[in-house]
Chain A
Amino acid sequence: MSTFALDQIQAQLPQALVERYKDRTGETWGVIAREHIVEVVKLLKVKLGFRLFISMDAVDRLHLPPEEQDPRFEVLYFLKNIERNEHARLKVRVNEDQDIPSINKVFQGADWGERFVWDFYGVVFAGGNKRRILMYEEFVGHPLRKDYPLRGRQNLIPERPIQDIFRGPGTNGVQD
């Protein structure tokens, strides 16, 4: 239950750390201010040795108790320091109309993570790659948002002509 990462962030970038807390298993989580996330990730990677990118995801807090609903989204960042054997668990909280600076210049692996969060939650990353990753590009909405219906159906889309090698098989973008 090492707290090295958050201790260092608190010491070196105190303005970036909004909140820190422990979960029930004793692991430490840090909530980072939106505008400081790139600095924090850079600090962790370059100076503190958190060089392994683990993953990214987000949580839609729409159905949590009212005091936890604002801001609506919580974007999660997991990094790992192999030498110290410690995971860094970071969060950034944003509302629908806010964007987060992209960290894909710091971690190349974050590119797909950010595309996933955009695809499924609609959180925008400034300077990031705004392409869907798992859903098809004609899809409307963001399926993992809590207000997206479980059995939500969308119209079928005509198939794309096979000659279109740049976009490949699939739909041709014409909605009926």
Chain B
Amino acid sequence: MAAAGDEYDPTPSEHELEAHLQTRNMVVNLGPSHPATHGTVRLRIELDGETIVKMDTEIGFLHRGFQKSCESVTWTQVLPYTDRLDYVAALQNNFGYLSAVETLMGIDIPERAKYIRVIGAELHRIASHLTTAGALALELGGFSAFLYAMEARELITDRVTELTGARLTTSYGRIGGLNRDLPDGWKEKVMKSIVKIEEVAAEMDTLLSRNRIFTDRTKGTGVITADDALDFGFTGPALRACGVSYDVRKAQPYWAYDKLDFTVPTGNNGDNFDRYYMRMLEIPESLKMIKQCFAQMPEGPVMIDDWRIALPPKENVYNSIEGVIAHFKLVMEGVPVPDGEVYHCTESPNGELGWYLRSDGSGRPYKCHVRAPGYQILSGLGRLCEGRMLADLVPTFDTINMIGGEVEQ
């Protein structure tokens, strides 16, 4: 028998090992201002050890009253507000909104404008996908892949700057077409950039897609079934990663997409890796489309010839009474959008970007609802994370690519 004063035996007894530990779930707050929540979203996470038991997503920190503002300005003046929705791919929002208004008015835009819209939209789709993949790599510790992504994105930003005059807030395009044609020599510059972007995207693919550390962190995490994804309203790469092939560009071709040859990649696991990989596969497709557009693009006007919709040329404004009146009416009263309503959608990098527009014929939108793809995807973030590890939250949050601007309007 051991005497008092013997040294302490640290091995726990059987009884101690079996004893029920008195633990409580811990509540952890993430955001709204946190490096891993790019965008301002607050997650209240209830943890049992390292497992997420319950997660509550709180949004609204970036709410700027998009709809209310739209209702107080003319149809054309809404355009700068749309830049600030998905600010990583502003042209997508610009053109999506303009398409919806044109559908509501029942007008068709010139062929050349359609091709330029595809080029702009696809450039920004690549930029958005690169940002998503780069940020994902960064947060999983791969800083070099992020730098490659930014290098390629910078090329796109430069080309977009030359085209629109702004790096991020493009406000390009007008109801009825585009406000200006391509700048001189722009096509050659884009073709040169495309070669570089292709190279860099391939480099990123090599760095990440078969990287053991990266695949361990992304494969099998943040899984969602196709049924749940549809239920929550996932669209775009997040839905296609689950094996549902739905892309607005194929389903209801708009602009020039029916004349282009491209494929839409579909995954099958619905996990983080598939959501990331869908984006990597879409980049070469978008580059292919841009090349086809340049090859097929006809010459001609980029704006419809109707002074009730398009601003008259400056020489007419200064030298003719018709020009002055058309200019005055357009600036003061706005484009005459007839009484009616429409739901129109285009494919933005994150999925279906839908617009429900209602006009009462007054020259200002009566209602301007935007169906942001990220809003529905973010509503399913809890489902993606509950019952999984806390560490997987970060890649999951990255691959759904939540953009504060569009989600919080």
Q: Do A and B bind each other?
A: yes
B232 at interface by CB-CB < 8 Å: yes
A111 proximity list for chain B (CB < 8 A): 379
Most interface-central of A55, A107, A132, A166 (chain B CB within 10 A): A55
Q: A25-B106, A51-B230, A76-B369 are in contact. Are A134 and B376 (CB under 8 A)?
A: no
Contacting residue for B235 out of A52, A89, A165, CB 8 A: A52
Whether A85 touches B252, Cβ cut-off 8 Å, given contacts A25-B342, A52-B235, A63-B366, is yes
The answer on a CB contact under 8 Å between A76 and B356 is: yes
| Cα distance, A59 to B366, chains bound together (Å) | 9
Interface size on B, residues (CB 8 A): 49
> Which residue of the partner chain, among B44, B72, B233, contacts A109 with CB atoms under 8 Å?
B233
Q: Is the CB of A169 within 8 A of B32?
A: yes
B63:A135 contact, CB within 8 angstroms = yes
Does A168 lie within 8 Å of B29, measured CB to CB? yes
Number of A positions contacting B (CB below 8 A): 40
Bound together, the chains give a CA A169 to CA B231 distance in angstroms of 31
A108 at the interface (CB under 8 A from B): yes
Q: Does B398 contact A (CB under 8 A)?
A: no
B60 to chain A: which residues have CB within 8 Å? 132-136
Shortest C-beta distance, A86 to chain B (Å), equals: 10
Digit string of A133-166 for contact with B (CB within 8 Å is 1, else 0)?
A: 1111000000110001010000000000000011
| Known A-B contacts A112-B375, A143-B65; A64 and B366 likewise in contact (beta carbons under 8 Å) | yes
Chain A: CB-nearest residue to B408: A134
Are B408 and A168 closer than 8 Å at their CB atoms?
no
Interface of A is mostly: loop
Cβ contacts under 8 Å, B239 to chain A: 52
**CA separation between A82 and B230, bound complex, in Å?**
10
Give the residues from 215 to 236 in chain B that come closer than 8 angstroms, CB to CB, to chain A.
Answer: 227-228, 230-233, 235
A54 contact from B228, B341, B352, Cβ within 8 A: B352
- Other than A55-B369, A82-B244, give 6 A-B pairs with Cβ distance below 8 A: A23-B341, A59-B366, A63-B366, A76-B369, A82-B246, A109-B379
Q: Which residues of B does A touch, CB under 8 Å?
A: 27, 29, 32, 42, 44, 58-60, 63, 65, 67-68, 72, 103-104, 106, 227-228, 230-233, 235, 239, 244, 246, 251-252, 338, 340-343, 352, 354, 356, 358, 360, 366-367, 369, 371, 375-376, 379-380, 383, 408-409
Q: What are the nearest 3 A-B pairs in CB distance?
A: A109-B233, A134-B60, A53-B233
27 cross-chain CB contacts under 8 A: A23-B340, A27-B342, A51-B231, A53-B231, A54-B233, A54-B371, A54-B376, A57-B369, A59-B367, A63-B366, A76-B356, A78-B371, A80-B246, A82-B230, A107-B233, A108-B228, A108-B379, A108-B380, A109-B231, A111-B379, A143-B68, A148-B68, A150-B68, A165-B29, A166-B44, A168-B29, A169-B32
